[in-house]
Amino acid sequence: MKNSGNNTGKLILLVLVILSFSYTKEKPTQNSSSEENKELYEIRFLDSFGFNPASLDCLSKNLDDDQCVISKRYYDSFGTISEISENEDTCQMIPSKNGVFELMRKKGINPYEYMDSFKKYEYTEIPSINKFDDSLNNKKCTEEEYLYAQQVWNEMKCQNLRDYTNIYMINDVLLLADVFENFRNLSMKEYGLDPCWYYTSPGLSWDAMLKKTEVKLETIADNEMYLFIEKGIRGGMVNAVKRYAKANNKYMSEYNPNDKSKYLLYLDANNLYGWAMNQKLPYGTFEFVEGIENLQTENKIKQFINRLNEQEKGCILEVDLEYPQAIHDQHNDFPLCPQNVKINRQNIAKLTNTLFDTQKYVIHYKNLLQALKYGLKLKKVHRILTFKESNWMASYIELNTNLRKTAKNDFEKDFFKLMNNSVFGKTMENVRGRVDIRLTMDANYIVRLASKPNFKRTIILNNELAAVEMSKTNVIFDKPIYADFSILELSKYLMYEFHYEVMQKRYGRTITEGNKIRLCYQDTDSLIYEIETENVYEDIKEIKEYFDFSDYPVEHPLYDTSNKKVIGKFKDELNSDIMTEIVALRPKQYAFKKEKGVETKKCKGIKKNIVKTLTTDDYTKFLFENGIVRKEQVLIRSKKHEIYTMKQNKVALNNENTEEFRQEYKRYIMKNNEVDTIAYGHYSMESSYRK
């Protein structure tokens, strides 16, 4: 089933549940025993989207023709419609002519919104082109798409819209079957595992990793240890630092030689989490250290960590750290040790890069050593948890990386990339969020459930069916969250190391030192810099060991394949195209222009088809003029498993010049200056913002 979690599954689930309850309500015969009438059965829904999170159109295009075994076999035997039985809804097929497989090789189009009546299935002409428009995605049917629909109608000898709809649905099923069977075959070939025994790709990739590495991971049985590690889990970082910047360099058509030469450089880390998973990770022998009163200085801690490393051990620490004012300017763009802090009126904690001192901060030992290296001060050590560590996931990551390099087509490339990326998802599985859902038609049963202490709520689905949500009475903490914690920490370590050790060292550390580099925008695995220099490409050539230049055009002076796809290396996301202007209103809401190609725009919470209607100039306008832009978007939603379409008028761009808006921001926006921001805790701020 494709994407059952969103729409299709809701329709099927209700029907199956009602049918099953109707079946079980039949009374047993007088002579039959209760055991004979007790039937246990299980219905398992497997959503192919949980394994292949992309559109069917995209997935099918990645397959080669010889991989479409099911579609080809079908269309070689059946392809054109002979007649429609008067008493049946199914099409009667006859052997196809040559070329039908080639015709049906791709996903077609269907006039979904036009089909609002069963009578229309009897219409004998294909609808006009505008009837194929898609208001859900704000998409007009193209001439090419419509010509293809007409070709299918004619070649498959459709007599009416019922024929066309049946062919459309059959083809979708065939394409999806080919996609998933190729996915299964590849998984069984490389890992000996059948995806049909799993619910999603993280479960599959986790078992593949365990099988290939043969690692034995310890389950933490101590509740204090588990909560200690859980406290330190922090997700990816994202910040809009300098909210507007404009480039000016000799590679631009609008270059002004009288102004300073500036570049906007968009750098992205190759498979950041893959790099972190390749490092030494905890796997067992977890112990709290006693007598930590003797480990309260930086030198003592460094010596202690060195001794652990000699024994193939590492540690997680809970510490107090001071952020000295002397390094606030140097660290303002990208402060170390991000925290979940409450900085707004709603009192909601957000993961934020601040210059605040930290108390009881849980941190990986490598990140602590990094923080001390760049100037933070250790004030107190509260707890230390030691463990054995090794590169136990490295061989699996390397295996998939090599398999991706030798992949025969895009489908295989995407598969091996997925198997690397999704394995991380299993380490961060949140078992606390699990619930029990009881579906019932029995009012007395609902009353009994409602009397239980773990009862949460009842949802009336319709006149015959209700869902009762129950909390779990017990939760088993059997997930290796120590791996999740370490991967997240080490990924931050790499981003910080690149920023401070590579980029800041190359261009200057502080404004007073003549800083020629500013961070404009930062996401989990990417950094967008404004750099004042004559030629940024000559600069990064001097530090090429940190970069992957393999995606540059072959004729580019920096083209080099020596670091091609090497995890942890940084690449120019625009592949030598010049970013000319960037505006970042807030995290996940930014846009930039390029010398070549189309603009790039991001706006979290707004559908992509609506974002396409915005321009970078819209972002710039509302940065300097303030205000709100609302956009109407069409959505499919469900309530109580009833699916409906709705129009939503939502704020797309927001830059209100109010104190409330400024407090919603992860950084402090300078008053009377919409561009520059400073990290909370900076010495120049009012005392109320310095904690």
Residue 522 burial (CB count, 10 A): 22
- C-alpha angle 524-526-532 in degrees, rounded to nearest 5: 140
Beta-carbon contacts of 497 under 8 Å, excluding residues fewer than 6 positions away, are 370
Same domain as 67, residue 122: yes
Give the integer Cα–Cα distance in Å for 565 and 95: 47
Q: Is residue 650 part of a domain?
A: yes
Give the integer Cα–Cα distance in Å for 61 and 148: 16
What are φ and ψ of residue 540, in 5° steps?
A: -75, -15
Closest CA relative to residue 483, chosen from 259, 276, 252: 276
Q: Is residue 206 part of a domain?
A: no
Q: Is residue 219 part of a domain?
A: no
Count of structural domains, the chain: 4
Same domain as 451, residue 345: no
Kind of pairing between the strands at 262-269 and 526-532: antiparallel
Closest CA relative to residue 486, chosen from 302, 142, 234: 234
pLDDT of residue 154: 92
Q: Is residue 231 part of a domain?
A: no
Same domain as 130, residue 78: yes
- How distant, in Å, are the alpha carbons of 138, 383, 420, 594, 623 from that of 613? 10, 53, 35, 17, 18
Closest CA relative to residue 429, chosen from 205, 147, 193: 205
Q: Which two tokens stand for residue 35?
A: 């055991």
| 338-347 CB contacts, 8 Å cutoff, 24+ apart | 338/234, 338/237, 338/492, 339/234, 340/234, 341/680, 343/663, 343/666, 343/680, 344/663, 344/664, 345/660, 345/663, 346/664
Dihedral-angle region of residue 31 (phi above 0 means left; psi in -120 to 50 means alpha; beta otherwise) = alpha
pLDDT of residue 661: 62
pLDDT of residue 84: 35
Same domain as 39, residue 56: no
Give the integer Cα–Cα distance in Å for 2 and 48: 5
Same domain as 629, residue 547: yes
Q: Which two tokens stand for residue 419?
A: 């198997």
Same domain as 168, residue 20: no
The alpha carbon of residue 164 and the mean position of all alpha carbons in its chain are separated, in whole angstroms, by 36
Q: Is residue 193 part of a domain?
A: no
Same domain as 343, residue 244: yes
pLDDT of residue 504: 93
Give the integer Cα–Cα distance in Å for 417 and 579: 28
Q: DSSP string covering 65-121, please?
A: GGG-HHHHHHHHH--EEEEE-TT-SSEEEEPPPTTHHHHTTS-----TTT--SGGGG
Ranges of residues in the chain whose predicted pLDDT is under 70:
1-42, 78-98, 344-348, 509-514, 640-641, 656-664, 686-691
Give the integer Cα–Cα distance in Å for 519 and 333: 6
Helices 365-373 and 481-497: crossing angle, nearest 10°?
A: 20
Q: Where are the alpha helices (DSSP H) in 251-358?
A: 272-277, 298-310, 328-331
Please name the residue that has the structure tokens 């009416």: 160
Give the integer Cα–Cα distance in Å for 677 and 680: 9
Tens digits of per-residue pLDDT, 536-572? 999 999 999 999 999 999 999 999 999 998 999 999 9
175: domain range? 52-188
pLDDT of residue 83: 39
Give the integer Cα–Cα distance in Å for 593 and 596: 8
Q: Where are the alpha helices (DSSP H) in 311-354?
A: 328-331
- How distant, in Å, are the alpha carbons of 64, 246, 264 from that of 534? 46, 15, 12
Closest CA relative to residue 103, chosen from 45, 174, 35, 14: 174
Same domain as 615, residue 511: yes
Q: Is residue 218 part of a domain?
A: no
CA pseudo-torsion sign 539, 541, 542, 546: positive
pLDDT of residue 512: 44
Please name the residue that has the structure tokens 């060292």: 505
Q: DSSP string covering 203-233, please?
A: HHHHHHHHHHH---PPPP--HHHHHHHHHT-
Q: Is residue 125 part of a domain?
A: yes
Residue 207 contacts residue 213 (beta carbons within 8 Å): no
pTM of the model: 0.87
Same domain as 499, residue 560: yes
Same domain as 247, residue 170: no
Beta-carbon contacts of 41 under 8 Å, excluding residues fewer than 6 positions away, are 20
Same domain as 376, residue 244: yes
Q: Which two tokens stand for residue 356?
A: 């605040």
pLDDT of residue 578: 95
Q: Is residue 586 part of a domain?
A: yes
Residue 343 burial (CB count, 10 A): 22
Give the integer Cα–Cα distance in Å for 208 and 195: 10
3-state secondary structure of 164: helix
Same domain as 353, residue 499: yes
- C-alpha angle 569-206-363 in degrees, rounded to nearest 5: 60
* Residue 503: DSSP 8-state: I
